[in-house]
Homo-oligomer: A and B are copies of this chain.
Amino acid sequence: MRDVAVIGVGINKWGELWEKSLRDIFVEAALLAMDDAGVDHIDSLYVGSMTPGLFIGQEHLGSLLADYLGQCPIPAARVESACASGGLAVRMGWMEVALGVSDIVMVGGVEKMLDVDGAGATYALATAADQEWECFNGATFPGLYAMIANAYQAKHNIPFDKFRKQLAQVAVKNHANGLLNPNAQYQMKVTAEQVMNSTMIADPLRLLDCSPITDGAAAAILCPLEMAKSAFKKHPPVTIIGSGAATDALALASRDDVTYLKATEVAADSAYKMAGLKPADIDFAEVHDCFTIAEICVTEALGFFDIGKGGEAATAGVTARDGAKPINPSGGLKSKGHPVGATGAAQMVEVVHQLRGDAGKRQLAKARIAMTQNMGGSGGSTVVHICKAA
């Protein structure tokens, strides 16, 4: 198995991109990644996208985007694991380079969510849940995560006011980080009071507990580490030293404990094992904060905090940029935006900038080993990667 390096990354400015099509925004991010790497061609492409069929009536994105990038007839595949599609693309590209089938592989993700018509974005996103057991009965993701939040509060017997502040602090912290990210959809500060007084979406989750609907893309260029060292010296290479993926039942009702993200724990364990590391070795992480409660549960499942203590870590400042375990220095899904298929690829973009030490105003003091955790649905799938500065 060959060691795999990330030699270039690219992301466009995320937001409501009414004047650009899906292919435009992917090519924009992809060309930035190629320029960053210093490559003029790629040997293969993996693109993560959750449901371009429902959002814009376009499937077959592998070929379409390889063509618009001027790279046909290379092999190109779209991969999907709901909101973990971008992380899945990274994993597939890592395998192809590690195996030796290709040398220079682009992994990326894209979603064009604002153009949706038909039954709308909430319907399109709900296809990541169990259609027959959840959607059919009216459940959508804010409601599903609200159930997780309520179960979490009850299980850990946290007074509601205290719990409500823990949730709010996740949003406050991620918006503070996103304020420093020029590509974030919402570069704005929010206060705990603003979060707790924002519109109720699904009790206890309010508008500012939820990640937004976003148009966006991100891409990274992978190659064998040996090649990175000899041929691509523009930046210090970042090495992928762990990759893990796991699944769980889609329907919350099928899980023993809805507050326990089993797929995240199993995927992280695989990645830790491959890297020969443990949670304490991770300097910082980009994780899947589609809702504030998600970040709390995820940071526990990754082994960073004890079960039931993820919220306290947020309010104590442990997960802040200057804390002991910074989480989502990019601003996370909450502030940066959440173009679902692109999110996992964008996590890799942030991690690479931080590990290289070129993250600008967002640069963390300690950034040698990082983790990305990208999750599908309400935890039905998770892809985890561990990366190391060269």
Q: Which residues on A are within 8 Å of B, measured CB to CB?
A: 1, 21, 23, 50-54, 56-64, 66-67, 72-82, 88, 92, 95-96, 98-101, 118, 123-124, 126-132, 135, 244-250, 254, 262-263, 266-267, 376-377, 380-381
In the complex, the chain B residue whose C-beta lies closest to that of A56 is B131
6 residue pairs, one from A and one from B, having the closest CB atoms: A75-B245, A63-B380, A63-B247, A60-B82, A73-B246, A59-B127
> Given that A67-B254, A78-B81, A95-B101 are contacting pairs, would A128 and B73 also be in contact in the complex, using a CB cutoff of 8 Å?
no
Q: What are 18 A-B pairs at a CB distance below 8 A?
A: A54-B54, A57-B123, A57-B131, A60-B380, A63-B247, A63-B376, A63-B380, A67-B247, A67-B380, A72-B248, A75-B246, A76-B81, A77-B79, A77-B80, A77-B92, A92-B92, A95-B96, A98-B99
> Given that A247-B66, A249-B67 are contacting pairs, would A81 and B95 also be in contact in the complex, using a CB cutoff of 8 Å?
no
Known: A60-B129, A60-B250, A63-B380. 6 other contacts (CB 8 A): A62-B81, A67-B380, A73-B248, A73-B262, A75-B246, A76-B245
B-chain residues with CB within 8 Å of residue A63 when the two chains form the complex: 81-82, 247-250, 263, 376-377, 380-381
The CA of A80 and the CA of B128, in the complex, are separated in Å by: 16
Is A250 a contact of B64 with CB atoms below 8 Å?
yes
Contact of A53 among B60, B124, B262, B380 (CB under 8 A): B124
- Minimum distance in angstroms from A246 CB to a CB of chain B: 4
The CA of A89 and the CA of B285, in the complex, are separated in Å by: 30
B-chain residues with CB within 8 Å of residue A377 when the two chains form the complex: 60, 63
Contact of A118 among B51, B118, B381 (CB under 8 A): B118
In the complex, the chain B residue whose C-beta lies closest to that of A118 is B118
> Given that A247-B72, A247-B75 are contacting pairs, would A380 and B64 also be in contact in the complex, using a CB cutoff of 8 Å?
yes
Q: Select the residue from A53, A58, A135, A249 with max chain B CB neighbours within 10 A.
A: A53
